[in-house]
Amino acid sequence: MKFLSRISLMMAMSLLSFCKTAKYADAPKPPEQYAYTPEAPLISTIAIPVTISINDLTASLNKRLNGVLYEDNSFYDNNNDGLMFRATKTQPISLYLSGQTIKYKVPLKIWLRKSLFIGSAEAEGELALNLKTTFSLNPDWSIATVTDLEYYEWISKPVLKTGIGDISIETISNIAINQSRKTLTQTLDRVVGQQFSLRPYVQEAWTALQEPVLLSEEYKTWVKTTPLSIGITPLRTDWNSIYATIAVECQNDVSIGEKPYFRENSTLPNLHYINDDTPGDYQVRIATDIPFPEAERMARTMMVGQVFESGRRKVRVEDIQLWGNNDKLVVNSRLSGSFNGNIYFIGRPVFNPQKNQVEVTDLDFHVDTRNFLHKTAAWMFKGTIKKQMAAAMVFPLEENIREMRGEVQNSLNHYELQPGIVLTGTVDSVVVENTYLTPSSIRVNLFSKGKLSLDVKGL
């Protein structure tokens, strides 16, 4: 009887001891910590096609060059030549492109007054000047032009009207035209240089590119562009326009949340020439996050309430919590029943491209949990809880990626950075670059490639 009493007492003590352990037993908690994940900056190229229409250039020149183009009202100018001279535009200027030159035809009415021994006499005539302008770009993005008079042709030759009759003075008129040619050509160079400097437009595009762009309102996804360098292809011409491509090398940063802070860099680099075959490709890294609360919600849907048995022992999953431990995901499972407390699983999150989902591979009991259970609840190793927990750690991203790509493409169809400056582009591909943990989420980096161009209106 005493023996049986001792056995009963020992069993009761063991049972009480187990119940106490079951009530308060927690495996050692893995610390929450995150490894810094360095990411090489992605360098992109944004192509900015620039076109100067020959029709716009013609209209501008005709608007700026009107009326009197040259006037000499003194007999004593030009080494006392005894000649007054005035050249007035009578009809619109016509021009066309030829290689790296612009050729003009400028119709002029000529008036002159010649000093004579007994007074002076007037003459009028009409001619067409044929001029040629060679153009190039300066380092400061202004257009340099050098205009020369190729030849001229008289439409009606000037005749000097005197009291004794009309006298042809074509030779004198030719001298006057040659004297005024430098002023006329300099006037054309000044007008073209002022009207068609590329710098204001390039400066505007350079500045506008730095403004963060909202790619997705739903995901609050912003892309911030930091231009690094700028170049231009050699100017080319056809019958209708002068054109070139400006290429901006830049670094793109994507962030989620509020509009990112940025400090505008207004210093436009000097021009340098690039090859005609410079690609207009962009590369951008877009982070899509599975926040820990969302991942926990999905895991709880599958696991909370499930009961796992091993012989006569069983446990019920009461809650799931997730956090990072360097590059691995910790799954905290709070259990009740034959074991009452927290145990911890750990595994590495990876992206499965075939299924477009994040999975936690090699999920297993954390080493401290394993050592703890060996002493207190080794029977749990025989159950299916680990296998079921691994099956629950699946987080689909297919819809996120599809929606993200659609949002980005919609934004790039016609994104007006500023009035007259429109960003357009295509999303050619979106692939997953890597998966890692942040203090707030499971992050999947999407690597997107496509083409971007910036249309600058008003040139």
Domains of the chain in start order, with CATH, are 35-52+198-316+347-362+386-459 (no CATH), 65-196 (3.15.20.10)
User: Residue 256 pairs with which residues in a beta bridge?
Assistant: 221
Residue numbers in the chain where pLDDT is lower than 50: 1, 3-5, 7-22, 458-459
Backbone angles phi, psi at 255, to 5 degrees: -135, 160
- Give me the pLDDT at residue 14, please: 42
- Give me the pLDDT at residue 240, please: 78
Long-range pairs of 310-317 with CB within 8 A, sequence gap ≥ 24? 310/379, 310/380, 310/382, 310/383, 311/379, 311/382, 313/337, 313/338, 313/339, 313/377, 313/379, 314/338, 315/339, 315/380, 315/383, 315/385, 317/385
Looking only at the bridges linking them, the beta strands covering 33-34 and 221-232 are unpaired
- Give me the pLDDT at residue 15, please: 40
Angle at 78 (CA atoms; ends 76, 79), nearest 5 degrees: 70
- Give me the pLDDT at residue 59, please: 85
Spatial CB neighbours of 356, under 8 Å, sequence gap ≥ 6: 396, 397, 398, 401
With beta carbons less than 8 A apart as the criterion, state whether 286 and 446 touch. Answer: yes
Distance from the Cα of residue 100 to its chain's centroid: 31
3-state secondary structure (DSSP) of residue 30: coil
Give pTM, 2 decimals. 0.58
Spatial CB neighbours of 177, under 8 Å, sequence gap ≥ 6: 87, 110, 127, 152
H-helix or E-strand spanning residue 360: strand 357-365
- Angle subtended by helix axes 292-303 and 385-392, to nearest 10: 130
- The amino acid that residue 234 corresponds to is P
Spatial CB neighbours of 181, under 8 Å, sequence gap ≥ 6: 149
| DSSP symbol at 196 | -
- Residue corresponding to tokens 């390039």: 202
User: Residue 185 pairs with which residues in a beta bridge?
Assistant: none
- Give me the pLDDT at residue 256, please: 63
- Strands (DSSP E) found in 20-116: 33-34, 43-53, 68-72, 83-89, 94-98, 101-116
With beta carbons less than 8 A apart as the criterion, state whether 60 and 458 touch. Answer: no
3-state helix vs strand vs coil in the chain, percent to 5: 25, 50, 25
Q: How far apart are CA 292 and CA 61, in angstroms?
A: 64
- Give me the pLDDT at residue 31, please: 95
